Amino acid sequence: MSQSTSNLPPQEPIPNRLQGLVAIVTGAAGNIGFETARRYLLEGAKVTLTDIDGSNLVDVERALSDYVQNSSLKDKNDLILTVAADFTKEEDVQLVVDKTVAFFGRIDIALLCAGISYSSTSILDTDVDQYDKVMQVNCRSAFLGIKHCGRIMKMLGNGGSIVLVSSIAGLRATPGLSAYSASKFALRGLCITAAAELGQFNIRVNTVHPCGVNTPMFNLAWSEERRNNMLSTVPLGRWAEVADVAAVLSFLGSSDARFMTGGALKVDGGSVLN
């Protein structure tokens, strides 16, 4: 779990905005998952953290527990549940949903942000196994998350918010990342279809589309020259911070977004303007 390299002042959570709500966060050992889970907690939610990487998940729980203990929130044991799981496997997804309901009694928010990428490769040279793996992790996991979280939200009758973390690669051509782009565009199809089907149960479904996020991992993935070239296309002149993305994800989970569904919210500094 790497941290942002930003010198920007932190964005402040909105106290009690998510009070009484329960969230499942997939990909919780990643930057966006971790920061959003932290914000959920500080805004009053209870959180199930899940990731395929069990060892990193332990570190995430420890770090979030420190935030809880240094705040005015209750004991961490009442607020955080950790379940190591592979969200490409239906039995694992069902396990996470069942454990969350057994522990917290409800599910109100499903943040589906498990995902992987790869080094830039021409579509002519992209290995089919790489394509299949990217589609499994980025798209199948979201499908299963919608299916099982949506079912329990419908059964409980409280409605809910399901948020898929896509990318600007799901809105425009992304040469060199054909499989990644395909998976992120696929999330839009899942989103708008699920939004149309589940709206009658007051279940909202939206996608969020960040540009590059300023983390050590992102900075290592591209050469300085390539990063500078890409940054020249961002009107706001900087990369997204994990806090920028987490703020939008928290908003979508709250009642402030109660009349928003099927949306594609860009957190991209203006990278995609049409």
Catalytic, out of 40, 67, 118, 180 = 180
Can you spell out the DSSP letters for 102-138?
HHHS---EEEE--------B-TTT--HHHHHHHHIII
Cβ(261)–Cβ(205) under 8 Å? Answer: yes
**How many whole angstroms separate alpha carbon 43 and alpha carbon 250?**
8
Cβ(10)–Cβ(21) under 8 Å? Answer: no
Known catalytic residue at 131: no
Residue type, 34: F
SS3 assignment, position 207: strand
Closest to 166 (Cα-Cα) out of 217, 208, 222:
208
HSE-up (13 A, CA, CB side) for residue 264: 21
Q: Strand 203-210 vs strand 46-51: parallel, antiparallel, or unpaired?
A: unpaired
Catalytic center residues: 180
